[in-house]
Amino acid sequence: MVETRRLAELGSTLAGLADFPDGPLMVALSGGPDSAGLAYLATRSGAQLRAVHVDHGTGHAGSLREAAMEICGVLGMGIETAALDLSGLEFSEERARIARYEALLGLRKPGEWVLTGHTRDDQAETVLMNLIRGAGPSGLAGIPPRSHRRMIARPLLAVPRSDLRELATLAGLPFVDDPSNEDSRFSRNAVRLSVIPLLESRFNPGFSASLARAAQSLRRDVDFLDSESSLLPVDLDDDRARIARSALTTAPRPLADRALRRMVAALRPPYGPTSDEMRLIWDVVGGVTGGAVLGGWLEVRLVGPFLVVRGSGIPGAEPTKADLSIGQHRLGEWVIEVVRHPGPARSIPLSLLSAVFPADTRLTASSDHAGRVTVEVGGEPAWIPGEKRFPVAFYQSGSNGYLSVFATEVAEWT
């Protein structure tokens, strides 16, 4: 590829703003301009590189898949595709996001970083959306540049979206725009298309950049406080977390709050306590109440000198069982939705939040005291949403008639 002067200058500028991790890299390539620009900059990093495209099976998925493959052809990158089946359900931004990440992580090789094309504009939109819903400091710190535990990196959070589009255009990358990004029924699109332009025109032309800078500054504070709070002695088991009450009452409140959030999130991953639940917990710490019940059938009590959070067989939280007919079913903090399809199955879901079965399968589901749901076939465990699928949870791709089963965790979080 012959670089024009403008392409060389822009590429150098954006490469200076990018923050690529060391090691082999896997680009999440949607086929849009942001991920196309990410792929171009990644090729300049000199790292071992490949791309993965996740096909959501929507009406415009074919053009995005073709664009992703053509982009890799221009850049000389290898590409692998993964298919998700999100049909039969009302589209959910959160459901699609979770399924996409699960698919990408399922294809990640050992030691490989998954790269996403989140930009400075995405950061501003996220912070503003979190502010609207009343998030705390972690939410206002926006999208983290790194998720070390899951090996996810977002190297372009300092790069404007418009610059990435220009870069991809100058490089001759055949990206396409996702039509769903123009649908203002989705919250993020409404913020992008209406709210931020209004704020920029009325108050601050550089509003997005200012919001992203504020998030970056707050991220440093949040990371420091998280690191300090990790020094508070929390004991974690599979079904219990405890901390000395004195550690909470003597620590600075921001550190104590983070320790409590860590305890709850460990037992109810990935969700920490809501604002209301935090008030309930502190009432127990202060002796105002003898105990509290949180979502997901978690119980908080003082046991001797310790505050203990654990799953509990509390009244009203007895294990439940249900036949999974077509439609939605609520079991504890999960919604299980079953959709019947008459035609052949074209893909096998990669996310642990979905599964497929032959159309004539009789499915049952049960929830235990800890809020874990198990889907069974003929009395045998087939699938624990969010955790694992057992050998009985199989389906022969291409056969006619199948059931799509989706799990959504409905616990609120802030």
pLDDT tens digit sequence for 29-53: 999 999 999 999 999 998 999 999 9
pLDDT at 375 over 60: yes
pLDDT at 222 over 50: yes
Closest C-alpha to 151, from 102, 202, 113: 113
369 against 119, higher pLDDT: 119
pLDDT at 242 over 80: yes
C-alpha 32/C-alpha 40 separation (Å) is 12
pLDDT band at 317 (very low <50, low <70, confident <90, very high): very low
**Mean pLDDT within 180-209:** 92
Count CB neighbours of 300 within 10 A: 27
Burial 15-36 (b: 16+ CB within 10 A, else e): beebebbeeebbbbbbbbbbbb
Residue 164 in contact with residue 119, Cβ under 8 Å? Answer: yes
All residues at 6 or more sequence positions from 145 whose CB lies less than 8 Å from its CB, including other chains: 19, 153, 154, 155, 157, 219
Identify the pLDDT of residue 294: 86
C-alpha 100/C-alpha 103 separation (Å) is 5
pLDDT at 315 over 50: no
Percent of the chain with pLDDT over 70: 86
The letter for the amino acid at 62 is G
Q: What is the mean pLDDT of the chain?
A: 85
Peptide bond preceding 270 in cis form (omega within 30 of 0):
yes
338 bridge partner residues: 327, 405
Residue 32 CA from chain centroid, whole number: 19
C-alpha 114/C-alpha 108 separation (Å) is 7
Alpha helices, DSSP H, located in 108-206? 120-132, 137-140, 161-170, 187-190, 196-202
User: pLDDT digit string (tens) for 384-400?
Assistant: 887 777 765 555 555 56
pLDDT band at 181 (very low <50, low <70, confident <90, very high): confident
C-alpha 371/C-alpha 361 separation (Å) is 24
C-alpha 409/C-alpha 268 separation (Å) is 10
Alpha helices, DSSP H, located in 230-349? 245-250, 253-267, 275-285
pLDDT at 161 over 80: yes
C-alpha 48/C-alpha 69 separation (Å) is 18
pLDDT at 381 over 90: no
The letter for the amino acid at 312 is S
pLDDT at 411 over 50: no
pLDDT at 281 over 50: yes
pLDDT band at 270 (very low <50, low <70, confident <90, very high): low
**Mean pLDDT within 189-202:** 95
Identify the pLDDT of residue 393: 54
Taking CB atoms within 8 Å and a gap of at least 24, the contacts of 218-227 are 218/137, 218/140, 218/141, 218/142, 219/141, 219/142, 219/144, 219/145, 221/137, 221/141, 222/137, 222/138, 222/141, 225/137, 225/254, 225/255, 225/258, 226/258
pLDDT band at 271 (very low <50, low <70, confident <90, very high): low
pTM score, two decimals? 0.69
- Taken as a whole, the chain contains a residue count of 414
pLDDT band at 345 (very low <50, low <70, confident <90, very high): low
**Mean pLDDT within 162-180:** 95
Distance set, CA 126 to CA 48, 61, 338 (Å): 30, 25, 31
313 against 14, higher pLDDT: 14
Reported as half-sphere exposure (CB side, CA atoms, 13 A), residue 166 has a value of 14
pLDDT at 352 over 80: no
**Mean pLDDT within 68-75:** 96
Percent of the chain with pLDDT over 90: 51
Of 23-32, 239-248, 272-281, least confident by mean pLDDT is 272-281
Identify the pLDDT of residue 61: 82
